[in-house]
Amino acid sequence: MQLTKDQLQTINQSGLSRHETDFNYLLDKLLANGTAVEDVITRLADFQVAIPSWALGAGGTRFGRFSYHGEPASLEQKLDDVGVLHALTQTAGAVSLHIPWDIPTDYAAVRERADSLGLKFDAINSNTFQDQHGADHSYKHGSLSAGEEGARRQAIEHNLEVVEIGRRLGSQSLTVWLADGTNFPGQRNFQRNLLQTQDSLQQIYAALPDDWKLYIEYKPYEPNFYSTVIQDWGTSLMLANACGDRAFTLVDLGHHLPNTNIEQIVATLMLKGKLGGFHFNDSKYGDDDLTVGSTKPYALFLIFNELVYGMRNNPQNPDLAWMIDASHNVKDPLEDLIQSLEAIQIAYAQALLVDQEELARAQEAHDVVRCQEILQDAYRTDVRPLVQRARLSRGGALNPLHAYRKLEVRNELIRERGKHTVATGL
Ligand code: PSV
Ligand code: MN
Ligand code: MN
């Protein structure tokens, strides 16, 4: 299923006059504050977030998965779903694949399909957390950190194959997330595991094409519950430094212990020019993978405030690879992703409204109260008309969720693809 700009324009009609009123009210306020409104809108319109192919299927947990039906069964259909999201939001202009789940059969056709939908192939993900059918070695006791040379070599080679697949699609970065770790004290030797991992990553890095980047993701626990080899940003940064200039740390919002000051991690990494990738989600307890902004929107804003500061002041840091890494659980996956994209744009817009110069002056004067006021004034501004304006400027939907429902996208997908789902086999 593909949505056309004409379809969206027709649906937008009914909300345009309300939008104009809301936008002008906000414009008036922002101009009085000296905000460069046009610049904010351009930045919002330019901001593109990759959708991971695994976010489009049936949702749930390891205890059970529940389908919304009409879910994509092939790589082509996954691209079509991201195409729908992009048409509506104009913010989902990239896709992040996972190998071996998304191996293309016809590369040219897949590239063409993505192209026609306005989608780029962003970072590609390897998978050494599951054993594959017919594999010579098991990852039960580790992959890139494995003590067994066979398993470690197999994991390295898998990553190199992933790079080759990505290269043929036009992707330019590899994300490595390792499940490697231990469940029990004494199970394995920490130092040996870390050294093996470093050596494996160095081998992968050495084989990357010159214009590729390596993103090293960290996570404190799960699926292992005693230790994870790449447990935190410090370990990831150390490994990235051991690889080279094109290796970076990847921050996934859910991969922190409760109450970690993620915005400070972001600031530190950007100062060092080592923040490469960013995975959005939300959580209450751990790696909950909840819809972005659904539980801690103020934390998201504070993180964006550091990202905006870094994008303005740290030319040593590369452009970031943004991706949503959330799970919809019991929602329609596409509706959930629309909500996540909206939450990202809202937090970004709020952060763009922070008067950085005034904040610096208040900090200098140790006016702590003023500092808080400046942040919260931006956070409490209803920026949705700006986000809408950015979307409209690209031909997207005024209200993506409303348009999605009005156009009965899910019903149409079920009609095209049927009710069969890989989640339950029903
Ligand atoms: C597992 O925690 C995870 O969600 C990581 O965040 C990765 O980015 C993703 O799976 C895909 O490998
Ligand atoms: Mn992630
Ligand atoms: Mn995760």
pLDDT string in tens for the chain (426-residue length): 899 999 999 999 999 999 999 999 999 999 999 999 999 999 999 999 999 999 998 877 778 888 889 999 999 999 999 999 999 999 999 999 999 999 999 999 999 999 999 999 999 999 999 999 999 999 999 999 999 999 999 999 999 999 999 999 999 999 999 999 999 999 999 999 999 999 999 999 999 999 999 999 999 999 999 999 999 999 999 999 999 999 999 999 999 999 999 999 999 999 999 999 999 999 999 999 999 999 999 999 999 999 999 999 999 999 999 999 999 889 999 999 999 999 999 999 999 999 999 999 999 999 999 999 999 999 999 999 999 999 999 999 999 999 999 999 999 999 999 886 665 555
Q: Which atom of ligand 1 sits closest to the CA of residue 217?
A: 8
Q: Tell me how far the alpha carbon of residue 122 lies from the centroid of ligand 3, in angstroms.
A: 18
In whole angstroms, what separates CA 181 from the centre of its chain? 24
Q: How far is residue 24 from each of residues 19, 37, 229, measured CA to CA in Å?
A: 8, 11, 52
* Residue 328 φ/ψ region, left for φ over 0, alpha for ψ in the -120 to 50 degree band, beta for the rest: alpha
Rounded CA-CA distance 113/242 in Å is: 38
Rounded CA-CA distance 276/399 in Å is: 31
Does 29 fall in a domain?
A: no
Tokens of 91: 């913010």
User: Of 244, 260, 239, nearest to 208 (Cα)?
Assistant: 244
Q: Tell me how far the alpha carbon of residue 325 lies from the centroid of ligand 2, in angstroms.
A: 5
- The DSSP line for 71-140 is ---SHHHHHHHHHHHHHHHS---EEE-BTTTT--S-HHHHHHHHHHTT-EE--EE---SSPPTT-SS--T
- The SS3 of residue 232 is coil
Q: Tell me how far the alpha carbon of residue 30 lies from the centroid of ligand 2, in angstroms.
A: 35
Rounded CA-CA distance 268/342 in Å is: 27
Does 327 fall in a domain?
A: yes
The residue assigned the tokens 């509706």 is 335
Q: Is 125 in the pocket of ligand 1 (CB under 6 A)?
A: yes
Q: Is 325 in the pocket of ligand 1 (CB under 6 A)?
A: yes
pTM of the model: 0.97
CA trace torsion 328, 329, 333, 336 (10° rounding) = -40
Count of structural domains, the chain = 1
Does 356 fall in a domain?
A: no
Does 138 fall in a domain?
A: yes
Does 409 fall in a domain?
A: no
Rounded CA-CA distance 268/316 in Å is: 12
Does 415 fall in a domain?
A: no
Q: What is the CATH number of the domain that holds 98?
A: 3.20.20.150
Cβ atoms of 261 and 299 within 8 Å: the answer is no
Indicate the top mutation candidate among 250, 325, 328, 329 to test ligand 1's pocket, ranked by most ligand atoms within 8 A of CB: 325
Question: Which ligand sits closest to the CA of 55?
Answer: 1
- At position 367, the amino acid (one-letter code) is D
Q: Is 256 in the pocket of ligand 1 (CB under 6 A)?
A: no
Does 65 fall in a domain?
A: yes
Does 174 fall in a domain?
A: yes
User: Domain of 325?
Assistant: 48-349
